[in-house]
Amino acid sequence: MKPRKIILDCDPGHDDAIAIILAGKNPAIDLLGITVESGNQTLEKTGRNALNLVQYLGLDIPVCLGASEPLIKQAEVCPAIHGESGLDGFDFDPLQRTYDPRHAVIFMIETLMQSQDKLTIVTTGPMTNLALALKMEPSIKDHIEEVVLMGGSIAYGNVTPAAEFNIQFDPEAAHIVFSSGCTVKMFGLDVTRKVLVLPEVVQRMHKIQTKSSELFVKLMTFFNATQKQVFGFEGGPLHDPVTIAYLIDPKVCKLDFMHCDIDISGGSSYGRTNCDQFDYLKLPKNTYVATAIDVNRYWDIIESSLRFY
Ligand code: BDR
Ligand code: CA
């Protein structure tokens, strides 16, 4: 089978880093580039983290800087989970790699418009870059195979009772993407909070003894400590790589098609993904939402990905 061509839009971030590991060398994926925005930390920091990751992993792909702020809200970054650098817990060598000069939004538009094949856009951060690209060049929609995103939740949130971080960081951007008419596949907290990096997972990945497993273990040790402090979890939920794991092996998640809209009212549910799982509203269905995950299959995908580096 031809590898799936993707652009990964992210805000690294510990779990974004593992998503990059999964996407970088798997034969099922052709990673065309990484676009970055603010989210877990400021754009300056998430951008530097992305460069450090591609340098460490030896990935020869463009890294483009994008939006430094959400469309309307003020940026509220997340040092409590990801530390001051946005990727605390690992010491990288001095940085030699540099950014691609194109703005992330321009890179997305040009790459989509010039490609013979349709491309998949994977977002593991707020969706500011993709929303801007859709507004700047609406015809990119015809070149998008699907949007595969980590974000949202059918049930409860992780930054407010109602909202998940990536969507709550830029609800208006998410609204633009969800109502764009693109095929949207949402991997939210309902599934990502089932894949916890428990001590046995860290031990299993530690045994692999590759460059990327060393990175995994150090990053997850930091991530688990902050997840314990903030949420009381014994193992942090490994959110973002679920998107790439799904592209590598779609059997990892069960998806249900439903209507979903984003709360952009500015009230206490601002940024909530209203997923009409039981079709109460009889509105047109627009989103495939992950409702179950095969946890063992997921860790197998993570393990095999760590063996590529
Ligand atoms: C999401 O928020 C970020 O902190 C993580 O990187 C992930 O993308 C989980 O809510
Ligand atoms: Ca992220």
CB atoms within 5 A of ion ligand 2 belong to 11, 13, 16, 124-125, 240
Task: Report how far ligand 2's centroid is from the alpha carbon of 16 (Å).
Answer: 5
Is there an atom of ligand 1 within 6 Å of 126 CB?
no
- Could you tell me where the DSSP H helices lie in the chain? 14-25, 43-57, 79-82, 104-114, 128-136, 165-169, 171-178, 189-192, 199-206, 211-231, 241-248, 295-306
Q: What percentage of the chain carries pLDDT values higher than 70? A: 100
89: left (phi over 0), alpha (psi -120 to 50) or beta: left
pLDDT digits (tens, 9 = 90+) for 161-198: 999 999 999 999 999 999 999 999 999 999 999 999 99
Q: What's domain 4-306's superfamily in CATH?
A: Ribonucleoside hydrolase-like (3.90.245.10)
pLDDT digits (tens, 9 = 90+) for 36-87: 999 999 999 999 999 999 999 999 999 999 999 999 999 999 888 989 999 9
pLDDT over 90 at 104, yes or no = yes
Residue that is written with structure tokens 């798997």 in the block: 26
Is there an atom of ligand 1 within 6 Å of 81 CB?
yes
Three-state SS annotation for 122-189: EECCCCHHHHHHHHHCHHHHHHEEEEEEECCCCCCCCCCCCCCHHHHHCHHHHHHHHCCCCCEEEECH
pLDDT over 90 at 1, yes or no = no
Note the ligand closest to the C-alpha atom of 11: 2
pLDDT digits (tens, 9 = 90+) for 141-150: 999 999 999 9
User: Are residues 63 and 51 in contact, defined by beta-carbon separation less than 8 angstroms?
Assistant: yes
Domain locations along the chain: 4-306
